[in-house]
Amino acid sequence: MPLLRRLSTIMFGTVIIAGLSTATGSATQYEEREVFSPDGTISRVVTPVQDQTPAPRSAVQADVVPIQQTGPSSQRFDLVFVGDGYTSAELGKYKQQATSRWNELTQVEPFKSYKNSFNVWAVNVVSQQSGVDNDPRGTYRNTALDMTFWCGGTERLLCVNENKALQFARLAPEVDQVVALANTTKYGGAGGRVATSSGGNTAAGQIVLHELGHTIGGLADEYDYPDDRYTGGEPREVNASIYASAQMQQKRTKWYQYLGKPSPDGGVVGTYEGAVYHKRGVYRPTENSLMRALGREFNLIGLDAMKAAIERKAPPNKP
């Protein structure tokens, strides 16, 4: 079954759709979410908006421990992990899993080369019961962040109460990206303001890499839908354009300086039709980067955009 990501309200705009429940007559809100399939392909669906009731202030208490601290937060990207379904006796397990997720990220560029540009924190959120909801389906647990599988009827969509997760994440010195880990080995995850991942399943970490492409690099999604033509203006993201190679070169715009160069995701930089959810009329730089499918590398354009963004906040010459 696929995984989903809520579209970023900053980069792409969450699409909220009002509906009417035939059972109750009450208004129902829906949102578009990205679907991450096990084979790495990505698409979008519409699901009901999940309950986001915040936690009482008195309940938002937890220790914050550093996984990696390399400098002042004003000169670093701060990645914050929060856990759900970990009891007080399982906090050691939680820290080990958070550390493992971070180590997985640093095997991929640009995180491999820019590892020391990040501070990484683990917020020790304590749950009353071990595990998360619907693992297996129909099993419910009393946890701090309300994480659950089968979100929106999709088995491996792992949702979280984002408001609660953010409340706990803000206990860290600073927050640039939040990742919620579930105490489970079941493959699952999602994205959005808070990316989610199974704490005990390494394969789910790919979703976090994709999310950081949006958060840090401001990158567009490069996947498309059949028979859908783009009719808008030039996309603002660096990795999408309405111009094919000849026009791009003539106008000296977007990635014209990269054309013909080899790319880390394989192949050569060019203009490949199909991007930002449209099959025709808009181009991406390479055939199949991490912004198009999981299990890939960032392409050369995306990689350089992420490096530049990291260096703006964490210049290489800073201690």
Domain ranges of the chain: 3-48, 57-215, 245-313
Question: Residue 220: which of 11, 45, 9, 40 has the closest Cα?
Answer: 11
Confidence (pLDDT) at 257: 98
Confidence (pLDDT) at 45: 67
Average pLDDT of every residue of the chain: 87
B/e letters for 1-39, b = 16+ CB within 10 Å, e = fewer, are: ebbbbbbbeeebeeeeeeeeeeeeeeeeebbbbbbbeee
The span from the CA of 169 to the CA of 124, in Å, is 10
Confidence (pLDDT) at 318: 56
Residues of the chain with pLDDT under 50: 1-25
Question: Residue 194: which of 179, 216, 215, 172 has the closest Cα?
Answer: 179
pTM: 0.81
- Give the residue carrying structure tokens 């350089």: 304
Question: Residue 43: which of 305, 238, 267, 279 has the closest Cα?
Answer: 279
Confidence (pLDDT) at 292: 95
Confidence (pLDDT) at 10: 30
Report which DSSP code applies to 172: S
Confidence (pLDDT) at 8: 36
* Residue 222: C-alpha distances to residues 13, 79, 281, 282 (Å): 16, 25, 13, 10
The span from the CA of 41 to the CA of 164, in Å, is 30
Strand partners, 4: 35, 190
Q: To which CATH superfamily is domain 57-215 assigned?
A: Collagenase (Catalytic Domain) (3.40.390.10)
Question: Residue 178: which of 218, 215, 128 has the closest Cα?
Answer: 215
Question: Kind of pairing, strands 3-6 and 118-123?
Answer: unpaired
B/e letters for 176-209, b = 16+ CB within 10 Å, e = fewer, are: bbbbbbbbbebbbbbbbbbbbbbbbbbebbbbbb
Question: Residue 159: which of 193, 185, 128, 127 has the closest Cα?
Answer: 193
Confidence (pLDDT) at 39: 78
